[in-house]
Amino acid sequence: MPSIGSLQYCDLSAQTQFPMSNKTYKALRRVALAALLVSPAHSADLDAAVNYVEPKVIAWRRDIHQHPELSNRETRTAKLVAEHLRRLGLEVETGIAHTGVVGLLKTGQPGPTIALRADMDALPVTERTDLPFKSTVTSSYRGEQVGVMHACGHDSHTAVLMGVAEILARMKGELRGNVLFVFQPAEEGAPPGEKGGASLMLKEGLFARYKPEVAFAWHAWSSLNTGTIGYRSGPLMAGSQGWKAIVNGKQTHGSRPWQGVDPIVIAAQIINGLQTVVSRQVDITRNPAVVSVGAIKGGVRNNIIPDSVEMIGTIRTFEDAEYQQVTQAMRRMVQNTAAASGSTADFTLDAYRNPVTFNDAALTARMLPSLRKAAGEENVKEVPLITGAEDFAYFAQAVPGFYFTVGVTPRGTDVTTAASNHSPLFYLDETALPLAIRAFTQVAIDYLASGS
């Protein structure tokens, strides 16, 4: 994986072959790039443009990775993005859904408006990689001090879209229509008690103002090797729903449990019971479903049985009937297990429910040639359903959407054993980024060229 330093050296080494002033060298390089970009139909021209922005994209990605920000707190990242878009001459709007940024590229020629989206937020994860630019940032989440890490690749999404914006801005005279660059906060979900993400951007009128007719996005994906693009028509990623259960007990001394009601034991029974909701009560031959417990909290001392235990978790489903079945079964399991032990339990679903990420069938078919052009036909693969969730789904409900994945696990590494997205060991192979830039740019160019 080449370093920023080596990339800069390679770029500047050309100057040493033809001595000239630095000012002249930069001017000629701008002219050369402009000449390369006059015909977007030629892949060699796009390759040259990708090569030009690649060092910048890697530098931006490393900077953002080293300075991660949690959902609805992406102020530094938003400032970096906004300043770049303004330098490109785009119309820039900030403060959307708290920290969101959008830039509008107008070509001045009739044609459709399309939206290209990247997410900016990081996760409450303590990084355990040995990267020289690893995150050491800490913050507060749900009342606890946590590490903060770009463990899902959003740093690369932001950096790549910044690079795509630069390429398309330089190609402005050869394009038609408009491009809306959407830098979204809080894709991982707003903090408890807050609103955010794609749904809030839409509620604040983002698409009503700019009226894109389609929306595109991509995701860095650890389950694919570098050089590979994954896609799926129709449902791609699951709908997600957060849930909470509070088991109500009766506090007593740990040496005399019979004098109280132990919510910790009841919570353990509930957790075991919840595993049977999907395995025994849902027809998983239709679609997969997942019920997970993400956190459990109760008690403060080793010799005190507490009054209550709180559990939180996530549900993943692909159709509404399945969702209703799962949530009803969970409610029964939580409440009746508690009742069987002489207790009560409260089961609630988060107000925020992420819909299924759905790729419009016609748009998917239309854009597949673009992906194959970018990666080679043999490197574009249909993938199975993904139980991860994405709030790009809201954008894809508002207009036809197309969402694809780009492999970021190094070639030769077994993807089944590689650290997954959201892992503290998640590793993004930076040699995958040129393909992400090329594919995202190619999709935009081809759609604008073919018109509505």
Concatenated DSSP letters for 174-202?
G--SEEEEEEES-TT-PPTT---HHHHHH
Q: Of 52, 231, 323, 352, which one is the catalytic site residue?
A: 352
- Amino acid 58 reads I
> Given the DSSP bridges, would you call strands 308-317 and 91-96 parallel, antiparallel or unpaired?
unpaired
Q: Of 174, 187, 322, 430, which one is the catalytic site residue?
A: 430
Concatenated DSSP letters for 435-448?
HHHHHHHHHHHHHH
Q: Are 437 and 57 in contact (CB under 8 A)?
A: yes
The Cα-based distances of 335 to 96, 109, 307, 396 in angstroms read 40, 61, 17, 36
Give yes or no: 352 in active site. Answer: yes
Beta bridge partners of 214: 114
Cα–Cα distance, 11 to 8 (Å, whole number)? 5
Beta bridge partners of 406: 220, 229
Give yes or no: 430 in active site. Answer: yes
> C-alpha angle 355/420/154, rounded to 5°?
60
Catalytic residues: 352, 430
